[in-house]
Amino acid sequence: MKIAHEIPQADEWIALKNAAGQRSPDRTAAEAALDRSLCSVVVRDVDASPIGMGRIVGDGGCYFQIVDLAVHPSRQGQGVEEWLMQALLSYLDRHAPEGAAVTTMADVASIPLYQKHGFKLVYPDLYGMSRQKTQKEVGP
């Protein structure tokens, strides 16, 4: 296995997210999202196929969010998640200023991984919220 700071191809990202059971965008949205990553890390197998990835998005100064941490089901529980977290946190150690907000949204199964690396559940002090654009919403 090899870990690298690189942006995967949109098709690789979509396939990996689908394999990991995560919602994936269409190709156009994927390309736009990947191009705007502050940091992207990919773990590749010996045949160069992606088996895990994670990204950091945000404004680069005050807000950073770890997103798209995904590992192919055949490689989950083999340390790939840990490699990805270490690489993403290393980026944050170098680039995020003191006091920057570093957040993530995690499924229940992933909470222990994030807690191991210092993330804390924010409830009841804060409430996380989410909103997704639907087809009915058409902007100007």
37 in helix, strand or coil?
coil
Q: Which residues are CB-neighbours of 57 under 8 A, at least 6 positions away?
A: 33, 36, 37, 38, 64, 65, 67
Closest-CA residue to 46 (of 3, 82, 86, 98): 3
In a domain, 129, yes or no: no
Q: How far apart are CA 43 and CA 5, in angstroms?
A: 9
- Mind listing the pLDDT tens digit for each residue in 80-115? 999 999 999 999 999 999 999 999 998 898 999 999
In a domain, 24, yes or no: yes
Number of domains forming the structure of the chain: 1
In a domain, 123, yes or no: no
In a domain, 20, yes or no: yes
Burial of 41 per CB tally in 10 Å (0-12, 13-18, 19+): buried
Q: State which residues form the domain around 76.
A: 2-116
In a domain, 137, yes or no: no
In a domain, 134, yes or no: no
In a domain, 54, yes or no: yes
- Mind listing the pLDDT tens digit for each residue in 34-54? 999 999 999 999 999 999 999
Q: How confident is the model at residue 131 (pLDDT cuts 50, 70, 90)?
A: confident
Q: Would you say 54 and 86 are in contact if contact means Cβ atoms under 8 Å apart?
A: no
Which CATH number does the domain housing residue 12 bear?
3.40.630.30
Q: What percent of the chain has pLDDT over 70?
A: 97
In a domain, 27, yes or no: yes
Answer whether residue 140 shows pLDDT above 80: no
Structure tokens at 103: 């957040």
